[in-house]
Amino acid sequence: GDQVEQSPSALSLHEGTGSALRCNFTTTMRAVQWFQQNSRGSLINLFYLASGTKENGRLKSTFNSKESYSTLHIRDAQLEDSGTYFCAAEAGPGGNNKLTFGQGTVLSVIP
């Protein structure tokens, strides 16, 4: 079965507001990455975490391997944040860097 369960599947935010995306893992994961897929289909690396929390501008991500989840927080959403967000995790140990992706969250930022 799916090892990565991502929620919500879709999210609408007004400009200036914020929310959180979450990925739950059904097996032990060694590291997690978060990506934004833009309208042209390109995957943009947002975060790579083996543990803890990282912050970059209006984005913050946490990975808790013991409790098997990761979150991506977006604050002060802007129109250009619209797109599909994916988490992807590598099972560990010995995962060969094979990333298992979540189902994605389609984010729409509206004026």
Residue with smaller CB distance to other proteins, 1 or 97: 97
Angle among Cα 34, 40, 45 to the nearest 5 degrees reads 20
Least gap, CB of 48 to other proteins (angstroms): 4
Residue with smaller CB distance to other proteins, 30 or 60: 30
Residue with smaller CB distance to other proteins, 18 or 100: 100
d(Cα 17, Cα 55) in Å, to the nearest integer?
17
* Residues lying near other proteins in the complex (CB under 8 A): 30-31, 33, 35, 37, 40-43, 45, 48, 50, 84, 86, 88, 95-104
Quick one: which of 92, 90, 91, 88 has its CA closest to 102?
Answer: 88
Least gap, CB of 37 to other proteins (angstroms): 7
Q: Is residue 44 a contact partner of residue 57, using CB atoms and an 8 Å limit?
A: no
